[in-house]
Amino acid sequence: MVCRSDRAKIPAFSASGDYDAVVIGGGFFGCKIALYLKEHLDRVLIVEREADLLQRASYTNQARVHNGYHYPRSLLTALRSSVNFPRFVEEYRDCIDNTFDKYYAIARVFSKVNASQFQIFCQRIGIPIEPAKNEISSLFNPALIEAVFKTQEYAFDAVKLKQKIREELEREKIEIWLNTCVDKVQETTSGKIKVLIRETESERCLRTRYLFNCTYSQISQILKASDLPTIPLKYEFAEMALVDVPPELKSIGITVMCGPFFSLMPFPPRGLHTLSHVRYTPHYYWQESENLTIKAHEAYSQIRKQTNFPFSIRDTIRYLPIAAECEYIDSLWGVKTVLPQSEVDDSRPILFKQNPKLPNLYCVLGGKIDNIYDIPRELNGLHLIEGV
């Protein structure tokens, strides 16, 4: 692995500046796609604007490894999660926190599923579920909670995951350019794609056979700057509150569903829990269109970051009274990118879209971390590489 942030180890830029594939975005999805591509291609490059890998969406999230429970209104998403869950846990076992018990509680009002429906749903897709013991159920307000179930879900440690990914990239000798922005892309007369990049003190370009835009909240910005058709996406300026929980909650994770409720999950890198609330985690949102593209990173830097924790915890306490003993420590801030269709049916498919004006450019967006195992199927279907 060659990393451009370590200037002493950087070889001279190749005379041709050619790559077989360039991946824009050094998050988990971008890194894994680069690893998949390296199985079939020689020169693969990752370009990342931050000073390190897995710094934004791959870190500033609830770190949940989904097993399907979260999606009773999207059977396909639930099934894919239940299939991918054991695979992710096996591949990244050293990055997984499985030391806590996970519980799903079904609200009596405003929930889109009742307890019976939820239990049948879990049994239908074959994921473990059993009634919670009284010592757990008694933590909840029975007037607002119909039933509590013990399930099986884990959390990933994004710091350990980054180290694991780095080792994989180094083993496969994949180049990484950090602190490097892609301004725009253009088609060349030879059919390759010219990528115009900007570093701290210089600008230059390179050429590539395939280009993968894995920039999450920056997907449409790069397309817009390149005069290419954009993808209508929804963005949320989101907060994950980090809290220190009382002893009774230290070794458990909780999700109250299904609707405008909350989750309290262990966050391994900090030894704390995240508190997310459907109503209060998103502070602002905007919907992109062909005529409106907002620079998400610039918006992020300009928006005032004032926590919604007081509102989130106030509602949480109604359902889980012991949450009153939670101590607010900090917040994780980020821009969440959502496919508009997911707002309707709660599905979390991957976006894997070929650009109509630049056929060798593909935009990729994952709704959750285990979606990564759907990527090879997409590559197969598009026959990007001979023999794949």
**pLDDT digit string, tens, across residues 135-183:** 999 999 999 999 999 999 999 999 999 999 999 999 999 999 999 999 9
**pLDDT digit string, tens, across residues 294-315:** 565 666 677 788 999 999 999 9
Q: How large is the angle between the packed helices 28-38 and 158-171, nearest 10 degrees?
A: 20
Mean pLDDT over residues 97-117, rounded?
97
The yes-or-no verdict on residue 190 having pLDDT over 70 is yes
Q: With bands split at pLDDT 50, 70 and 90, how would you rate the model's confidence at 385?
A: low
Q: What pLDDT score does 1 carry?
A: 45
Mean pLDDT over residues 64-71, rounded?
96
Q: What are phi and psi of 75, to 5 degrees?
A: -60, -40
Burial class of residue 380, CB neighbours in 10 A (0-12, 13-18, 19+): exposed
CATH for 99-155+234-338? 3.30.9.10
Mean pLDDT over residues 130-138, rounded?
98
Mean pLDDT of the chain: 90
DSSP 107-134: ESSS-SS-HHHHHHHHHHHT---EEPPH
**24 vs 83, 185, 196, CA distance in Å?**
28, 11, 12
The yes-or-no verdict on residue 62 having pLDDT over 80 is yes
**pLDDT digit string, tens, across residues 18-50:** 999 999 999 999 999 999 999 999 999 999 999
Who's near 357: CB < 8 A, 6+ residues apart? Answer: 187, 228, 229
Q: What pLDDT score does 344 carry?
A: 73
Distance of CA 75 to the CA centre of its chain: 20
DSSP 311-367: HHHHHHHHH-GGGGG-EEEEEEEEEEEE-TTHHHH---PPEEEE-SSSTTEEEEE-S
The yes-or-no verdict on residue 208 having pLDDT over 60 is yes
Its sign, for the CA torsion 206, 207, 213, 219, is positive
Q: Which residue has the tokens 């399930």?
A: 151
Q: With bands split at pLDDT 50, 70 and 90, how would you rate the model's confidence at 383?
A: low
User: What's the whole-model pTM score?
Assistant: 0.91
Q: Which residue has the tokens 């579920």?
A: 129
Q: What pLDDT score does 342 carry?
A: 82
Mean pLDDT over residues 11-24, rounded?
69
- Structural domain boundaries of the chain? 7-56+159-231+349-382, 99-155+234-338
Least confident of 4-13, 65-74, 80-89, 238-247: 4-13
| Strand partners for 246 | none
Q: What pLDDT score does 202 carry?
A: 75
The yes-or-no verdict on residue 189 having pLDDT over 80 is yes
Q: What architecture is the 7-56+159-231+349-382 domain classified under in CATH?
A: 3-Layer(bba) Sandwich (3.50)
Burial class of residue 283, CB neighbours in 10 A (0-12, 13-18, 19+): middle
Q: What percent of the chain has pLDDT over 70?
A: 90
The yes-or-no verdict on residue 212 having pLDDT over 50 is yes
Question: 54 — alpha (psi -120 to 50), left (phi > 0) or beta?
Answer: left
Q: What pLDDT score does 239 carry?
A: 97
Q: What pLDDT score does 24 carry?
A: 98
Q: What pLDDT score does 153 carry?
A: 98
Name which of 162, 372, 132, 155 is nearest 256 in CA terms.
Answer: 132
